[in-house]
Every structure is written in structure tokens, then in C-alpha cells.
A = this chain, B = another copy of it.
Amino acid sequence: MDLGGFSRDDLTPEQIAEQAALYGPFTQAVRDLVDATIRTTVPADDVRAAQAEIEAITERLRSSQLPGAFGVRFNPEGRGRPWGNSVVGLRNPIAPPLVIEHDPEGSGRVWTDFHLGAAYEGPPSLVHGGVLSMILDQMLGEAAGSGGRPGMTGTLTLIYRQGTPLGPLRGEAWIDRAEEYKTWAKGHLIGPDGVTVEAEGVFILPRWARDLLPERGQERPKYFE
């Protein structure tokens, strides 16, 4: 069942948990390899040997694979799995991944504690300014979605207050105001010396998603990102 690029499958919650238990640690192993790839100082022959082994593993993994990107899967209960997502994707080694907590009351307030290592560097020992914008885009979008107002980024503005050191960080975001299919969200990232970056964005539910609502028997989408 194809819903405009979203797809529904018939996995039970138990099957989803099983997949998470399989792919979570596997993807984490690839994240650790990414870190080691940047930092290793082993001799050139050892690098070449590792490369050959990695190419062989990739070939085996590719013997059966999705034709394209992962997309967002839904089970019959409407629970979404954005496992390919660059920021929160359980199956994406590029994602730190952020585990974003949502206010259970549905206010749209979200927060997360996370750690960024060598792969997220821009200036020496600091997080890349673009990585910070990427994370805030995701957090503001999740704030909108978590408050029942999902959408795609319309505009995003970032103010960098100080450099953000690699290491443990915290992010917070919330809905500022809303109007029809537009939602304004705000947020910031916090390092050891306080707020490092502030963000504000407008998130818009695209027309194709609005058009899907009646087909899915929903007045508002349950999930979108």
C-alpha cells in the first residue's frame, strides 16, 4: 500500500521490536566504524585490508536490498518508523541517532540528550554549524508534529551564540504559534556553557499530504516527518 511515498506494512508491535533489536546494534556497529575511519592511524596496509573486507560485507548486504531509500513505514495502527532518517533513523549510521522525547500531554514540547563525536566536526573540536542546523530542523519539526501539527520545513533561522564543543549536548524545542497548515516552532541547543544555537522555523503540511487525509480517514495526520 503506497501512500504518496509513505508505505504501510503489516508488522505487529512484536515484529517491530524484533527488527529494532536486530538493526539497532548493527547500525551502531557501523557508526563506530565511521568514527574509527576518521580517527585511525594504523599502517597503510591495514587500512587497505580493512577496505577490502568492508567492500565484501557491503556486497553481501546488497545481494538483497530495497530499490531506493528507506522511506517512512507505517504499521496498521499508524505507528511510523522513520528508520532511514538522517537525524533520528534507527537504521541510518549517519544519524547520531537522536532519541527525541515528547511531552505526553501533546503540548508539542520535545527534548533530547545526545552525544556528538568526530563525525560531526566543523572547526577543530567544535560541532559543524551545519550539523547543528540539521539537528534543530529535526527537533523543531518534531515539536510541530508532536503537537499534532506535522509539516515540512518552510523557513528556518539559526542564531549561533557561541561555538558548540563536540561531546554531550541537549536540545529543546516547542511550538510558538500556529495558523491553518502553518506552525511556528522554536528551540535551542545547550552545551556545557549554556545555549549555543537558537532556532525558529515555520513548518507547513504540504498539499499532497493534506489530500491524503480523507483517503486515510483522518482529519489531521497522525504522523509526518
Residues 9-24 of A at the B interface (beta carbon under 8 Å): 22-23
The reply to whether A69 and B26 contact each other, CB–CB distance below 8 Å, is no
Copies of this chain, whole number: 2
Over the window 17-61 of chain A, the binary record of Cβ atoms lying under 8 Å from chain B Cβ atoms (1 yes, 0 no) is 000001101110110111011111110101110110111011011
Residues of A whose CB lies within 8 Å of any CB of B are: 4-7, 22-23, 25-27, 29-30, 32-34, 36-42, 44, 46-48, 50-51, 53-55, 57-58, 60-66, 68-72, 83-87, 89, 91-94, 117-126, 128-131, 133-138, 141, 152-160, 163, 166, 206, 224-225
- Which B residues are CB-close (under 8 A) to A42? 60-61, 63-65
Known interface pairs A91-B37, A123-B225. Does A69 touch B118 (Cβ–Cβ under 8 Å)?
Answer: yes
Q: What are 14 sample pairs from A and B whose C-beta atoms fall under 8 A apart?
A: A26-B50, A32-B58, A33-B54, A36-B62, A39-B65, A39-B68, A41-B64, A53-B53, A53-B57, A69-B117, A85-B121, A130-B137, A152-B160, A153-B158
The reply to whether B85 and A61 contact each other, CB–CB distance below 8 Å, is no
* A26 to B: closest C-beta gap in Å: 5
The reply to whether A160 and B154 contact each other, CB–CB distance below 8 Å, is yes
Known interface pairs A33-B30, A153-B160. Does A125 touch B41 (Cβ–Cβ under 8 Å)?
Answer: no
* A104 to B: closest C-beta gap in Å: 25
The reply to whether A129 and B153 contact each other, CB–CB distance below 8 Å, is yes
The reply to whether A86 and B119 contact each other, CB–CB distance below 8 Å, is yes
The reply to whether B156 and A123 contact each other, CB–CB distance below 8 Å, is no
The reply to whether A39 and B66 contact each other, CB–CB distance below 8 Å, is yes
Known interface pairs A29-B51, A29-B54. Does A38 touch B124 (Cβ–Cβ under 8 Å)?
Answer: no
